[in-house]
Amino acid sequence: MKDLNSVRLEFPSLSANEGFARGAVACFAAQLDMTLTELGDVKTAVSEAVTNCIVHAYPDSIGTVYMRVRIVDPETLEIQVKDKGRGIEDVEKAREPLFTTGGDDRGGMGFTIMESFMDSLKVRSRVGAGTTVTMRKRVEKRMKQR
């Protein structure tokens, strides 16, 4: 299946770039005529995914975060956030609420938040090779005004 539209971004795993990622995805997703609630859900999920790369994938260094955003059909947005960092030893454990490897100041709710705000969430990871998070959000159909 051919994408209706897509964009790729890559940026250093700096905290300042979390806001950039949110804004870039929101601008791209706006073409789907999302409601403010839907757009807010997408922005929150992107923030969590990018923050995971910054905090967990590259805890002691600056690495690269790769994002691909696609419109896969007229109502579906797909966002992929990827790193080449340290990877996740146990993905199922990492997806449990309150589990974190980021220290006492981290809440351990990143994957839970992504899952609750998006329609689907897939996580693939290899220790020492990085993690790929793929999320999809389906836009509610609305009647078009004449």
**Any domain includes 144:** no
- The confidence score (pLDDT) of residue 146 equals 47
Q: Does some domain include residue 38? A: yes
What CA–CA distance (Å, rounded) separates 34 from 64? Answer: 29
Does the residue 146 lie in any domain?
Answer: no
Give the CATH number for residue 62: 3.30.565.10
- 65-112, pLDDT tens digit by residue? 999 999 999 999 999 999 999 998 877 777 665 555 555 555 556 788
The two tokens of residue 47 are 């923030």
Instruction: Kindly state the average pLDDT of the residues 28-42.
Output: 94
- The pLDDT tens digits of the residues spanning 121-138 come to 999 999 999 999 999 999
Q: What is the mean pLDDT of the chain?
A: 88
Q: Which two tokens stand for residue 24?
A: 């870039």
Residue with tokens 């109502």: 75
| Domain housing 35 | 5-138
- pLDDT for the residue numbered 91: 72
| 31 — pLDDT class (breaks 50, 70, 90) | very high
Higher-scoring residue by pLDDT: 111, 14: 14
Catalytic positions, written as ranges: 48, 52, 106
Residue 1: pLDDT band (50, 70, 90) is low
118 inside domain: yes
Q: Quick check: 59 pLDDT over 60? A: yes
Query: How many distinct structural domains can be found in the chain?
Result: 1
Q: Are 62 and 13 in contact (CB under 8 A)?
A: yes
Dist CA 93 CA 14 (whole Å):
26
The mean per-residue pLDDT over the stretch 43-60 comes to: 93
36-52 and 110-117 helices cross at what angle (nearest 10)?
Answer: 150
